[in-house]
Structure 1
């Protein structure tokens, strides 16, 4: 049996992309799969062997935790080491030297984030962001050269740091594995059996300045329809959290912490509108937000940022677009979908159909399988 190990010191072991999509799919293909990730205990779930790691909030401690993760990963005896965080690039070289096949799964385009003056990576002081970006780019170049494969999640040709254009000699190492939803999982989860007194606008994801949460809360002050904005996710920074909570209109905004996808999809199905109005940073404008596809899979009409890449990809038949910095404009779009039921139903049905036909994990996983067969000489 071929053993493979996924490693993360940032994400929970049962992360949606890592565990539910990649690891469980590989188990069904007959691989013995381990995931070393943030979790309270070692256990086996859905055929995946979870090796728990202690969670650290500080990046300095998390960096050293990567060596703990490497030690645990090596104990599994896996032939392929699949890394999911930029902090793990260093141990990737060590794993490669130990004779392992190494894959890096780039969930985001970190170079673009660090290059942006308004980056959500606020742990990097603004005067040093370009220096950090340059240093990261050097590490990225070495990783692309020495690792066996590099997975990326979006393929916008206009991306200022497009991987295929940046590394023409190593195009054969790059695999596009987009973060599409698992349709079969979503369809097996019922809507939450709770009383809904008024329409729900739902946002799922990180709660930070770059995601436009404050602007979304500001919009709720102007929404004329009696509705609730439901935020689901983890706050990044106590100061920003307090700023948002202090500005929440009474009775119009609710927040719930991170939750497993089985429960999360129940909330999405209970909602009336999905929203993803993240702000125009370079990385945001050139990639996708997984939440968008999850809203569509659940049949919700979607309001999203008016990025040219998004408008081109989704089109007016799948969503309506708005300037994410314009809270008044966001409020108008919310009222439009809550009051024009025919439009909301049409957008929701179109989005669901497109997910069924092309934007689901059931189709996207084939690229992952092709990569693993190549790595383990199974072709």
Structure 2
């Protein structure tokens, strides 16, 4: 019997690289019946059933309350065997699904307690308190789940002893997404490329400053809110 697997996200786009391209499509190719409940409209894409929940609210508060609940309700109605969700705001719904007897997996893309400590718009004492409280809540939830999937070994270490099983799925490119060419490395231009969200927290200035000691060009490719200053070796 083919197992029904449901991925859930209230914060990411339906075609998110990690969720849709790498995880959902890989499961579909392996023969699973795969559903992805997210923003957007109902449609089929590369063997994955996209279950659309409409437009994602711009307000984080509205998204975390009403939209997250809508994602959960549409996912629960599918009656899948496994539920794999990707956002901390869905943690309480993961607990509900577990109480219904479902296999539940939390996919932690980031070290959220550590991320909270970097929120400069919060006074540091408040940041520290929120980080501690969130970690306690997260631990209480994940210990009830069947597994936690993380995007890096560093994040996985943060879950050791807090859940029954933790597995690392790195955000490496799929091999069929890479166009290889036969030019030897010593014949190529000296270019370093970073692909992903561009921000100070993700090390944009560290990468730019590191290029001061490198005879080459750094290309940063991804969404960026504020242009980086300082250094003429970075292209975005």
- Residue of structure 1 in register with 2:159 after alignment: 163
Q: 1:253 to 1:161 in 2, by over 3 A?
A: closer
Alignment equivalent of 1:181, drawn from 172, 177, 197 = 172
Distance 1:224 1:113 in 2: 30
Deviation at 1:125, TM superposition (A): 4.0
- Residue of structure 2 in register with 1:372 after alignment: none
Of structures 1 and 2, the one with the larger relative CO (CA 8 A, separation 6+) is 1
Deviation at 1:108, TM superposition (A): 2.2
Distance 2:37 2:95 in 1: 18
Distance 1:177 1:247 in 2: 35
Within the alignment, does 1:254 sit opposite 2:235 as a pair?
yes
Q: Residues 299-378 of structure 1 correspond to what in structure 2 (within 5 A)?
A: none
Alignment equivalent of 1:150, drawn from 148, 167, 187 = 148
Pick the structure with greater CA Rg.
1
- Residue of structure 1 in register with 2:200 after alignment: 209
Which consecutive unaligned segments of at least 5 residues does structure 1 have? Answer: 192-197, 256-379
Distance 1:8 1:133 in 2: 22
- Residue of structure 1 in register with 2:42 after alignment: 42
- Residue of structure 1 in register with 2:97 after alignment: 95
Cα distance per residue 1:63-114 (max 9 Å; x no partner): 0221111122123232221111111112212223344322111222222333
Aligned length in residues: 227
More helix by share: 1
Deviation at 1:232, TM superposition (A): 1.0
Deviation at 1:224, TM superposition (A): 8.2
Distance 2:130 2:220 in 1: 31
Distance 1:67 1:234 in 2: 28
Distance 1:28 1:160 in 2: 26
- Residue of structure 2 in register with 1:370 after alignment: none
Within the alignment, does 1:8 sit opposite 2:4 as a pair?
no
The RMSD of aligned alpha carbons is 3.0
Cα distance per residue 1:232-254 (max 9 Å; x no partner): 1112xx4xx05x2x5464xx543
Distance 2:143 2:59 in 1: 30
CA contact (8 A) 2:159 2:166 kept: no
Secondary structure of residue in 1 paired with 2:9: strand
Alignment equivalent of 1:112, drawn from 104, 111, 114 = 114
- Residue of structure 1 in register with 2:186 after alignment: none
Which consecutive unaligned segments of at least 5 residues does structure 2 have? Answer: 182-188
CA contact (8 A) 2:6 2:80 kept: yes
Distance 1:126 1:72 in 2: 38
CA contact (8 A) 1:103 1:149 kept: yes
Cα distance per residue 1:155-187 (max 9 Å; x no partner): 46xx896422x33xx5xx313133153553234
Within the alignment, does 1:231 sit opposite 2:220 as a pair?
yes
Distance 2:147 2:213 in 1: 47
